[in-house]
Amino acid sequence: MLTQQKSGGKCLDGVRVLIVEDDPLLLLDLELILAGAGAMVVGLCQTLEDALRRAFPVDFAIAVLDFRLGDETASAVARRLEDQGVPFVFYTGQGRYEPSLAEWGHRPIVEKPSTPQALVRAVKEALAD
């Protein structure tokens, strides 16, 4: 699990984050990693439906999205966030060059498994863009 490694500092101090991940253990792990980096996790979603509801109105600075949510993808959530100018990072088991991710090549994609540092770095970079 990712929590076995340190995320390194409080570089996301106070940043409000929405996490969308269908695996409950990974969801908890992501919450711990981001909170450990200083972020304030304001929402945890496990389904596309929950994520779409939670993505409007926006009360967070960035989202971390698992691309595959069961049999669905998070593309609808990503489009909604993009339309609203909200940055997001995909944290996914899909390979970066997977055809289903082609639409999102301009967005940060962190492949599972990764280190906490890689995820936190991707979030920081997405916020800086």
Give the per-residue pLDDT at 43: 96
Joined together, the tokens standing for residue 99 give 């055809």
Using a 10 angstrom Cβ sphere, with 0-12 exposed, 13-18 middle and 19 or more buried, the burial of residue 34 is buried
Please give the C-alpha separations between residue 24 and each of 10, 13, 28, 57, 105, in angstroms, as whole numbers: 24, 24, 6, 24, 27
Q: What is the mean pLDDT of residues 63-82?
A: 96
Classify residue 54 as exposed, middle or buried by CB count within 10 Å of its CB (0-12, 13-18, 19+): buried
Domains and CATH numbers, the chain: 12-128 (3.40.50.2300)
Q: What would the mean pLDDT of 74-83 be, rounded to a whole number?
A: 96
Write the pLDDT tens digit of every residue in 17-49.
Answer: 999 999 999 999 999 999 999 999 999 999 999
